[in-house]
């Protein structure tokens, strides 16, 4: 059984946000809901200033605080390491949202699924077919595009990235590209002091 994880190559990320758009489309995400974002940071001073782009996503932690605090067992970890939310069990209490140290969860409010792209309460055909997968009042997050992964495909954000700054693969396979990059370029997990053992790594 694979243990899925992702590597972000900060040398390659150009901040184009193609990943954000691909994720929105793949998951039919309502206005205001993002499963991945790209932050930016300015480094240095003029005339030697530069900008670094930092992709963010649910880290699918091995020791996930969101799972520990969920009172109904709605948040769970699959055998392959992907952390998911069972919307049938989620009561929308928000405990997982508060517990996540990476701010990577959102509660779907009814108005998010009702107001539509133009805010007039009329959903586009794309929204009509896509919003059926969501339930108002439940917590949502990145799923590593688990349905694509189960079909032998990579997450939408990975295949869309024009610079191959996102690398997805099996963390348990010593020959996988993610394992080699983590080893060769000293991959770092986000906020290691939280002791969550994320399955996302950054290299530069």
CATH topology of domain 4-202: Alpha-Beta Plaits (3.30.70)
Return d(Cα 85, Cα 72) in angstroms, integer. 11
Q: What is the pLDDT along the chain (204 residues), one digit of tens a residue?
A: 999 999 999 999 999 999 999 999 999 999 889 999 999 989 888 888 889 999 999 999 999 999 999 999 999 999 999 999 999 999 999 999 999 999 999 999 999 888 876 777 788 888 888 898 999 999 999 999 999 999 999 999 999 999 999 999 999 999 999 999 999 999 999 999 999 999 999 999
Q: Do 200 and 6 touch, CB atoms closer than 8 A?
A: yes
At residue 163, the pLDDT reads 98
Q: What is the pTM of this model?
A: 0.93
Residues 20-54 as b/e (b if ≥16 CB within 10 A, e otherwise) read bebbbebbbbbeebbbbebeeeeeeeeeeeeeebb
Q: Provide the residue ranges of all domains of the chain, joining segments of one domain with +.
A: 4-202
At residue 114, the pLDDT reads 86
CA–centroid distance for 3 within its chain: 16
Looking at the DSSP bridge assignments, the partners of residue 83 are 77
Residues 69-82 as b/e (b if ≥16 CB within 10 A, e otherwise) read bbeeebbebbebbb
Residue 32 zone, left/alpha/beta (φ > 0; ψ -120 to 50; rest): left
DSSP letters for 67-86:
HHH-SSS-EEE-TTS-EEE-
At residue 178, the pLDDT reads 98
């Amino acid at each position: 059984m694979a243990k899925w994880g992702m590597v972000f190559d900060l040398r390659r990320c150009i901040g184009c946000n193609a990943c954000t758009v691909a994720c929105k489309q793949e998951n039919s995400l309502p206005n205001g809901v993002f499963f991945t974002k790209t932050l930016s940071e300015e480094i240095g001073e003029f005339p030697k200033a530069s900008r670094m782009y930092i992709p963010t996503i649910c880290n699918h932690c091995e020791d996930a605080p969101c799972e520990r605090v969920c009172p109904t067992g709605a948040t769970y970890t699959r055998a392959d390491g992907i952390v998911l939310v069972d919307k049938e069990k989620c009561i929308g209490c928000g405990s997982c949202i508060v517990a996540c140290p990476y701010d990577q969860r959102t509660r779907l409010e009814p108005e998010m699924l009702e107001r539509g792209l133009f805010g007039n309460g009329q959903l586009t055909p794309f929204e009509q077919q896509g919003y059926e997968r969501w339930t108002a009042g439940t917590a949502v997050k990145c799923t590593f595009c688990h349905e694509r992964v189960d079909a032998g495909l990579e997450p939408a954000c990975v295949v869309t990235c024009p610079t191959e700054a996102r690398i997805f693969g099996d963390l348990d396979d010593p020959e996988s590209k993610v394992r080699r990059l983590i080893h060769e370029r000293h991959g770092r997990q986000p906020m290691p002091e939280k002791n969550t053992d994320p399955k996302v790594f950054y290299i530069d």
